[in-house]
Structure 1
């Protein structure tokens, strides 16, 4: 049995394209590839960082950017961002093997639960940093999930799209796997979630 602690945005659910487009449209009337790439680079640190950096760089109101992002999260209640390719198969394989699908996210609980509900995705537990848990790379959320479900580090892998996800996993004593388009030194990297099937 192997359980997975999933990150949410950019790992389990493909939220980033819509986030990037939404923020870019606040700054530019018709953003092109270069503008979207700039937003994506800023957002790779965090959405909050992207909002602060864009507001400072382009003299745009941070309130406008935050309002646009809030409107996007409301849209997702009825028209959610899609699951990442391979997520269904990987989650089903975890269940078949008797493992748990757990989520550790920086996203607020309302937004996280709305996305999962709209997509019809059932997870076994969900820990959200805004509920009072330390943000990654701190291992706190991973540790809480393992303690709640009586899991040892060898029972679990953590999957995320940022190096902080891997760092949080390693600090909790569990294997961290990075979802990324290119390999990183000393980090187990996959380009598709279907590659997890051989690890469960």
Structure 2
């Protein structure tokens, strides 16, 4: 099975330090939906694994969260793509469970449900906690510079040694589909 795991905020859609709390605030990063469509059309199953602490903090409710995901799926369908499953950790950061990244629980749960090993499965994120969760779950971490990615790269450069880094999800997908992502990118 060809599989890619994506963080949501900062990878697929624009992130906000005040959280993305509504459909009106959910805005796709240019090129991200088309990139996911390319993955879908190339036979990849695409899953989202995302911390959503705004739920645990009461900043938005499950209806708002569901509406944002429905918008994402609707916009993806319009360009020929889809998300095959959405895993999320609603934990408040100060009451984190093993599901909340940087812990690997969310990714391990995905692997268990699919009955597979995550070795060499790309897990794309924009923060150090995404990278740490992917490593701990045995997946192949990938950093994008969108969202918090540039800051993550600047602040944690040595911790990212050996990690492939791309300007955007679209750039990663081009590299993956053309076989050019076999080695970490630094420029």
Q: In the alignment, which residue of structure 1 is the partner of 2:88? A: 128
SS of alignment partner, residue 9 of structure 1 = coil
Unmatched runs of 5 consecutive residues or more in structure 2: 56-61, 77-81, 92-96, 178-187
C-alpha distance in structure 1 between counterparts of 2:130 and 2:122, whole Å = 11
Higher helix share: 1
Unmatched runs of 5 consecutive residues or more in structure 1: 24-46, 48-71
Tell me the alpha carbon deviations over residues 2-41 of structure 1, each in whole angstroms, 9 at most, x when there is no partner.
322111111111132xxx4xx5xxxxxxxxxxxxxxxxxx
Q: In the alignment, which residue of structure 1 is the partner of 2:46? A: 101
Flag the 1:134–1:177 CA change in 2: closer, same or farther, 3 A: same
TM-score normalized by the length of structure 1: 0.63
The structural deviation recorded for 1:154 is 3.7
Flag the 1:167–1:110 CA change in 2: closer, same or farther, 3 A: farther
Task: Report which structure shows greater RCO (CA 8 Å, sep ≥6).
Answer: 1
How do residues 107-126 of structure 1 correspond to structure 2 at under 5 angstroms?
A: 107=52, 108=55, 109-119=62-72, 120=74, 121=76, 122-126=82-86
Does the Cα contact within 8 Å between 2:98 and 2:104 map onto a contact in 1? no
C-alpha distance in structure 1 between counterparts of 2:105 and 2:5, whole Å = 12
C-alpha distance in structure 2 between counterparts of 1:86 and 1:193, whole Å = 8
The structure 1 segments of at least 4 consecutive aligned residues displaced by more than 4 Å after TM superposition are none
How do residues 15-54 of structure 1 correspond to structure 2 at under 5 angstroms?
A: 15-16=15-16, 20=17, 23=18
